[in-house]
Amino acid sequence: MAKKVEDADYKLAQPLVWILVLHWRGLNFTRACLDSVQKLTYQNYKVLLVDNGSDEHDGEKLAKEFPEVTLLRLTENFGFAGGCNRGMEYCLANGADFIWLINNDAKVAPDSLGILVEQAKTDQKAGALGGAVVDSLTAQEKHIEASRGTINFRSAKTKVVSQPVAEPVYCDWLHGSNLLLRATTLGAVGLFDERYFLYFEDTELCHRINLKGWKCLFVPDAFIEHLGSASTQDSRKHWRSYYYIRNRFLFFNTYLKGAAALPATFNMLTHVARHALVLPFRGDEGRKKLRAELLGTRDYFSHKFGRATCLEWCEPGK
Banded model confidence at residue 140, pLDDT cuts 50, 70, 90: low
Q: Which ranges in 94-200 belong to alpha helices (H)?
A: 112-122, 183-189
Banded model confidence at residue 139, pLDDT cuts 50, 70, 90: confident
Domain boundary assignment for the chain: 8-228, 233-314
Q: Residue 272: what residue type? A: V
* Residue with more model confidence, 162 or 80: 80
Q: Which ranges in 140-225 belong to alpha helices (H)?
A: 183-189, 201-211
User: Can you tell me whether residue 258 is helix, strand or coil?
Assistant: helix
Average pLDDT over residues 253-259: 95
Please give the DSSP secondary-structure letter assigned to residue 196: S
Banded model confidence at residue 3, pLDDT cuts 50, 70, 90: very low
Report the phi/psi class of residue 47: left, alpha or beta, with left for phi > 0 and alpha for psi in -120 to 50.
beta
> What local confidence, expressed as pLDDT, does residue 5 receive?
47
12 pLDDT more than 90: no
| Cα angle, residue 254 at apex, residues 178 and 297 outer, rounded to 5° | 90
Q: List the one residue out of 219, 216, 217, 203 whose CA is nearest residue 132.
A: 219
Pairwise CA distance, residues 149 & 130, whole Å: 11
Q: Are 72 and 94 in contact (CB under 8 A)?
A: no
> What local confidence, expressed as pLDDT, does residue 7 receive?
63
Please check whether the domain covering 8-228 is classified as CATH 3.40.50.1700: no
Rounding to the nearest 10 degrees, give the CA dihedral for residues 124, 80, 47, 181.
Answer: 0
> What local confidence, expressed as pLDDT, does residue 267 receive?
96
Pairwise CA distance, residues 75 & 55, whole Å: 10
Q: List the one residue out of 297, 295, 291, 290 whose CA is nearest residue 309.
A: 295
Q: What is the pLDDT of residues 172-218, one digit of tens each?
A: 999 889 999 999 999 999 999 999 999 999 999 999 999 999 999 99
- Kind and range of the H or E element at 49? strand 45-52
Q: What is the pLDDT of residues 21-52, one digit of tens each?
A: 999 999 999 999 999 999 999 999 999 999 99
* Residue with more model confidence, 246 or 316: 246
Q: DSSP per residue over 78-101, as a string?
A: -HHHHHHHHHHHHHHHTT-SEEEE
Q: Residue 48 forms beta bridges with which residues?
A: 20, 70
Q: What is the pLDDT of residues 76-128, one digit of tens each?
A: 999 999 999 999 999 999 999 999 999 999 999 999 999 999 999 999 999 99
| Cα angle, residue 241 at apex, residues 269 and 31 outer, rounded to 5° | 150
Q: Are 36 and 112 in contact (CB under 8 A)?
A: no
- The pLDDT mean for the chain works out to 92
Banded model confidence at residue 4, pLDDT cuts 50, 70, 90: very low
Average pLDDT over residues 127-152: 86
281 pLDDT more than 70: yes
Phi, psi of 131, rounded to the nearest 5 degrees: -100, 180
Q: Which ranges in the chain belong to alpha helices (H)?
A: 8-13, 27-37, 58-65, 79-93, 112-122, 183-189, 201-211, 237-255, 262-278, 283-301
